[in-house]
Structure 1
């Protein structure tokens, strides 16, 4: 192969490499990378739950003061059949798909709103050093649809505060989406990952498409 051909091949290969999170990235910057690269870029650190209390993450709030709190906003956004909204944002009717267990639900009360990266896990991974305002923003993050997800109560309570090394959705077909969304949220909020978590993410990602991930950095 001549030099010109080698340069063309090299340029094509380089074009396939998406940038990782730049060192000088700022909140509000958009970062595009791949699943495997995003996992590799997660800062690795031991976790500590010292001082954690759930009420240090204020939720659910009505940030836009439209009468619907964060829980209701997620339900309205994720409904596959729109519900009726009554006084004080009461929700009736509607259909939702819980992707963790591939189950449809017709009652809002049967659903929990899961923090993709649980509040306790975020505390372990860096949120312990955040301000109360930052923790509130994290707990009510409606800017990224991956951060909060409506799922059946049994799946959410089975998951509790566990990371992907300890818990995965019961529907095997949901695992790649789950791993991708977990990694996206950790990237968005600059959260660390412990060694067992990274090992699990890498192992699971090996069986998934190396999907492109785009996030707007929150911090």
Structure 2
């Protein structure tokens, strides 16, 4: 009986090993939006050499048949969609907080990289390995790194930073600033002077907004 129990405990410990290796190296942090902006590293931006193909995205990391787009849609659905063969999603409803819009069905949605791939490149990702760029482009480990929004709002935003674009919905701005700054801190991305100054100005109306992030 003792030997059987020991074997069972050993098996249980082995089963937990993958979970242990998945724990991020850095603890979660919470800062006020003001302090989070001041914590962002400052550097000039450069888009030299950028190609979207250098960020491999829409992968199926856990091999369950659903790629990154589908995983985000499933996670953010207000009403869950039906999941068919090949992870084809039908039905369901979503809330696009950029423009305060309810969307029926997945076809009208884009998955937005909170900090666009081109902006990430400008802000430090040009120096990353291909593996880290892939991890960034498919970041399901933070709730707001990727967000389902209307295709219209995503395409209006394109690769612009908050100095050039913020969501049109009046109630979205503070959430958006928190998500943007949190994503940059999570991935140790920089801001240039114009972006930093704009973030400071916009954050003046978000006194009770915090930024939660976990570095990777």
Classify the TM-score, shorter chain: 0.7 to 0.9
Paired residues of 2:28 and 2:215 also in contact (CA < 8 A): yes
After the TM superposition, which residues 9-158 of structure 1 pair with which residues of structure 2 at under 5 Å, given as runs?
27-158=25-156
Q: Tell me which of 192, 198, 210 is aligned to 1:194.
A: 192
Q: Report the alpha carbon displacement of residue 172 of structure 1 after superposing the two structures with TM.
A: 1.6
Give the TM-score taking structure 2 as reference length. 0.87
- What is residue 168 of structure 2 aligned with on the other side? 170
Q: Distance in 2 between matches of 1:71 and 1:130?
A: 23
Q: Report the alpha carbon displacement of residue 27 of structure 1 after superposing the two structures with TM.
A: 4.0
**RMSD, matched Cα:** 1.0
Q: Distance in 1 between matches of 2:180 and 2:78?
A: 22
- What is residue 214 of structure 2 aligned with on the other side? 216
Q: Distance in 2 between matches of 1:67 and 1:60?
A: 11
Q: Report the alpha carbon displacement of residue 189 of structure 1 after superposing the two structures with TM.
A: 0.4
Q: Distance in 2 between matches of 1:180 and 1:187?
A: 10
3-state secondary structure, aligned to 1:101? coil
- What is residue 18 of structure 1 aligned with on the other side? none
Q: Distance in 2 between matches of 1:199 and 1:113?
A: 28
- What is residue 204 of structure 1 aligned with on the other side? 202
- What is residue 10 of structure 1 aligned with on the other side? none
Paired residues of 1:36 and 1:210 also in contact (CA < 8 A): no
3-state secondary structure, aligned to 1:43? coil
Runs of 4 or more, structure 1, over 4 Å off, are none
- What is residue 9 of structure 1 aligned with on the other side? none
Q: Distance in 1 between matches of 2:125 and 2:26?
A: 18
Q: What does the per-residue CA deviation read over 1:113-166, in whole Å, with 9 as the maximum and x for residues that have no partner? A: 000000000000000000000000000000001100000001000000000000
The alignment of Structure 1 onto Structure 2 pairs a total of residues equal to 193
Give the TM-score taking structure 1 as reference length. 0.86
- What is residue 5 of structure 1 aligned with on the other side? none
Paired residues of 1:32 and 1:213 also in contact (CA < 8 A): yes
- In structure 2, list runs of 5 or more residues that go unmatched: 1-23
